[in-house]
């Protein structure tokens, strides 16, 4: 998590107003367009750095959309203004979840995906807080609605979460299992989670707990990979596995 885009400016600009999302970076597919994935950065970052990494991956059939989160005061940083998809306090099972922020950012991502051609498969991925939002989107997709009850309009075909956590894990199992449709959608949605065992920002146990919570809620098409000795960052081996997983799950032609 780099805090390079956290600003010390006066608090007046971040007073209670509609939060504006930052710049969106798009990486066009180099081959036939088969899938579109919105990729979400971590706390204090922006879409640009990830768009450069994603552009270098051997995935010519994917269009990547890398939005930038709004700048908002973040409780975890003592109210310091920072790019963040939602407000986060201490990471814990019992920490309050910023439902309003989660829903607003999830809807912003859904808007990008809603305009993609019908024959293009769509997915969401992210790192750290971006991974948390990707997983929240996965639960909204299964339930068919946002936390506020509004219908969730996107049929996600793949979700990737690197070094993240699951917001709103409490009560998820009951919500999913209460609906036959939600249980069916949860069971069929492919999810890839990966986490470094030496992560000192989002501890490994949160990745493990998130995988467990999703699994018992009925997200059975889930792969959890751990990376021994790795901290809060991605490594080439991990990105290779992401590429292989996406190619298989989305049925991509690859670089042939």
Q: What is the pLDDT of residue 88?
A: 87
Classify strands 222-227 and 80-83 as parallel, antiparallel or unpaired: unpaired
CATH assignment, 22-250: 3.40.50.1820
Cβ-in-10-Å burial (0-12, 13-18, 19+) of 4 comes to: exposed
Q: Dump strand ranges (E) for the chain.
A: 25-27, 35-40, 62-66, 71-74, 80-83, 121-127, 158-162, 191-196, 222-227
Residue 43, number of CB atoms within 10 A of its CB:
25
**Between 95 and 233, whose confidence is greater?**
233
Q: What is the DSSP letter of 116?
A: S
In tens, the pLDDT along 171-213 reads 899 999 999 999 999 999 999 999 999 999 999 999 999 999 9
CA torsion sign for 147, 84, 188, 177 is negative
Q: Please tell me which residue in 5, 51, 98, 128 is annotated as part of the active site.
A: 128
Q: Is residue 62 over pLDDT 60?
A: yes
Under the banding of pLDDT at 50, 70 and 90, the label for residue 253 is: confident
List helix spans (H) across 46-120.
47-55, 99-114
d(CA 105, CA 70) in angstroms, rounded, equals 9
Does 13 or 188 have the greater pLDDT score?
188
**Kind of pairing between the strands at 80-83 and 71-74:** antiparallel
More confident residue, 6 or 78: 78
Check 45, 97, 103, 199 and give the catalytic one: 199
Q: Dihedral of CA 134/135/140/146: which sign?
A: negative
Residue 37, C-beta contacts closer than 8 angstroms, at least 6 positions apart? 62, 63, 64, 65, 122, 123, 124, 125, 158, 160, 246
Share the mean pLDDT of the chain.
Answer: 90
Active site residue 232: yes
Confidence band of 97 (pLDDT split at 50, 70, 90): confident
| pLDDT of 113 strictly over 80 | yes
User: Who wins on pLDDT, 69 or 1?
Assistant: 69
- 13: pLDDT confidence band, cut at 50, 70 and 90? very low
pTM metric for this prediction: 0.92
- Write the DSSP symbol of residue 79: T
Confidence of residue 93 (pLDDT cuts 50, 70, 90): low
Residue 15 reports pLDDT greater than 60: no
Question: For the chain, what percent of residues have pLDDT higher than 90?
Answer: 83
Contact criterion met (CB below 8 Å) for 156 and 192: no
Residue for token pair 């992401």: 242
Q: Is 56 a catalytic residue?
A: no
Q: Residue 16 pLDDT more than 80?
A: no
Q: For tokens 């908002």, name the residue.
A: 72
Q: Which of 5, 41, 108, 232 is catalytic?
A: 232
Report which of residues 95 and 112 the model is more confident about. 112
Query: What is the band of 94 on the pLDDT scale with cuts at 50, 70, 90?
Result: low
The string of pLDDT tens digits covering residues 24-58 is 999 999 999 999 999 999 999 999 999 999 999 99
């Amino acid at each position: 998590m780099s805090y390079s885009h956290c600003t010390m400016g006066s608090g007046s600009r971040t007073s209670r107003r509609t939060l504006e999302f930052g710049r969106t970076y798009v990486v066009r597919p180099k081959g036939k367009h088969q899938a579109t994935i919105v990729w979400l950065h971590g706390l204090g970052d922006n879409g640009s750095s990830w768009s450069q990494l994603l552009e270098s991956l051997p995935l010519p059939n994917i269009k990547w959309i890398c939005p930038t989160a709004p700048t908002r005061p973040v409780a975890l940083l003592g109210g310091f203004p920072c790019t963040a998809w939602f407000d986060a306090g201490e990471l814990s099972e019992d920490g309050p979840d910023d439902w309003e922020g989660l829903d607003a950012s999830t809807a912003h991502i859904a808007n990008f995906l809603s305009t993609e051609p019908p024959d293009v498969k769509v997915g969401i991925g992210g790192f750290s807080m971006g991974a948390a939002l990707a997983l929240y989107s996965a639960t909204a997709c299964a339930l068919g609605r946002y936390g506020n009850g509004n219908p969730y309009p996107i049929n996600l075909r793949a979700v990737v979460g690197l070094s993240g956590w699951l917001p709103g894990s409490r009560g998820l199992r009951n919500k999913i299992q209460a609906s036959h449709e939600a249980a069916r959608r949860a069971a069929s949605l492919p999810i890839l989670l990966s986490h470094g065992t030496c992560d000192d920002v989002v501890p490994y146990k949160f990745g493990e707990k998130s995988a467990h919570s999703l699994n018992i809620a009925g997200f059975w098409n889930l792969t959890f990979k751990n990376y021994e000795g790795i901290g809060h960052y991605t490594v080439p081996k991990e990105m290779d596995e992401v590429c292989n997983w996406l190619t298989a799950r989305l049925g991509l032609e690859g670089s042939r």
